[in-house]
Amino acid sequence: MTEPDALDRRIDAAARSYHAPGDPPLDAIWSRIEGDVAAALQAALADELAARRRGRVLRWAASAAALAASFAVGMIAGRAEDAPLSAPAPVAEAPAPSPPPAVA
Amino acid sequence: MRSRNRETHGEGMGRPAGVTAAEPDADRARVERARRGDVRAARELYDAHAPRVYRIACRFAGDAARAEEVVQDTFVRAFQRLGDFRGEAFGAWLRSIAVSVSLNALRTLRRRAAREVALADVDEPASHPVEPRDVERVHAAIDALPERARGVFVLHALEGYSHAEVAAMLGISEANSKVILLRARARLREELHDLGEEWKG
């Protein structure tokens, strides 16, 4: 009986010719796909530019929102500073005590 | 067996004359140029990687014309999806597309062949070129392997890719690739054990 490793090596040796590749006709294949590749690259470029544009718009919107928010916070803080913090709060007047009942 | 040009290990053997080197840094620059619509950069990527894609396509498809179709589909698909490429090794990314395209082509071919045989109901002789009997039997045994096992065997044992590379191409784990190869070898041994006796003799 042949050892498994030896049999594997024999199988590998015989398998080498399994669908053995020849020389690829690179130029012929490229000439068939060149147009498709150019179109694919243009489409990919257009997608990327659109994605970049979307990204720029989103970044601008986020910056504008952040600016508006800080402006609003500033306004609120400014108004709070304008309010007279030292003025005493109005005290509600206590009702006048009722006179003691007359003693007979 | 392991004479193909492997970009990951920098071996320079087996590169056809005039083929541009497939180096990760050069590839990154070419991909960037291609993303900006530069067809010449696309051609450089094609020159650097098409020979290896063609080898894989031949091993899977088994026919030069079909292998050429696989190469065409692989590159057109790759350039259509260039936006999905995230800077890992371009060659590995491309080969995973090639394997996927090859397997799809093979499935279509087998479905069509099965339909034709069922319709004709005749025993056509095999269209393979005439080989010595034992080599023919080995080829038939490889053909009879399950799709994934054949893929792992072809890529690892015949094309010399590492299990990590095979795993990336087939979308499986490295450990799974090793297990599948062991099973494929066991199945081939079982199928061809009588050849072992003959070879021994």
pLDDT digits over A65-77, tens only?
999 999 999 988 8
Q: Say what the pLDDT of residue B87 is.
A: 75
- Write out residues 2-41 of A within 8 Å (CB-CB) of B: 2, 4, 6-8, 10-12, 14-26, 28-30, 32-34, 36-38, 40-41
pLDDT at position B153 is 95
Looking at per-residue pLDDT, the higher value among B118 and A95 belongs to A95
End-to-end CA distance of chain A: 137
B60: chain A residues, CB-CB within 8 Å: 19
Give chain B's mean pLDDT. Answer: 80
Model confidence at B119, pLDDT cuts 50, 70, 90, reads very low
pLDDT category at B57 given cuts 50, 70, 90 is very high
Cβ-based neighbour number of residue A56 at 10 Å: 10
Q: Which two tokens stand for residue B53?
A: 């894609």
Q: Mean pLDDT throughout A88-104?
A: 67
Per the rule left: phi > 0, alpha: psi between -120 and 50, beta: everything else, B37 is left
- Mean pLDDT over residues B103-129, rounded? 58
Q: Is the pLDDT of residue A3 over 50?
A: yes
Contact state of A24 with B72 under an 8 Å Cβ cutoff: no
Q: Characterize B121-150 residue by residue with b for buried, 16 or more Cβ atoms within 10 angstroms of its Cβ, and e for exposed.
A: eeeeeeeeeeeeebbbbbbebbeebeebbb
Phi-psi region of A24 (alpha: psi -120 to 50; beta: other; left: phi over 0): beta
Q: Do A24 and B51 touch (CB under 8 A)?
A: yes
Higher pLDDT, B79 or B18: B79
* Residues on chain B touching A38 (C-beta within 8 angstroms): 39, 42
| Region B164-181 average pLDDT | 95
Q: In sequence order, what are the residues at sequence separation of 6 or more whose Cβ sits closer than 8 angstroms to the Cβ of residue B139?
A: A14, A15, A17, A18, B128, B131
With contact defined as beta carbons under 8 Å apart, do B131 and A17 qualify? yes
pLDDT, tens digit, 9 for 90 and up, residues B5-34: 444 433 333 333 344 456 778 899 999 999
CA separation for the pair B37, B73 (Å, rounded)? 19
Chain B residues lying within 8 Å of A11, measured CB to CB: 138, 185, 188-189, 192, 195
Is 60 exceeded by the pLDDT of residue B69? yes
Question: Best mutation site among A3, A12, A18 for testing chain B: the one with the most B CBs within 10 Å?
Answer: A18
List of chain A residues whose C-beta atoms are within 8 Å of the C-beta of residue B67: 21, 24
The answer, yes or no, to whether residue B126 has pLDDT greater than 60, is no
pTM of the predicted model, to two decimals?
A: 0.68
Distant-in-sequence contacts of B125-128, Cβ < 8 A, 24+ apart = none
Residue B10: the pLDDT is: 36
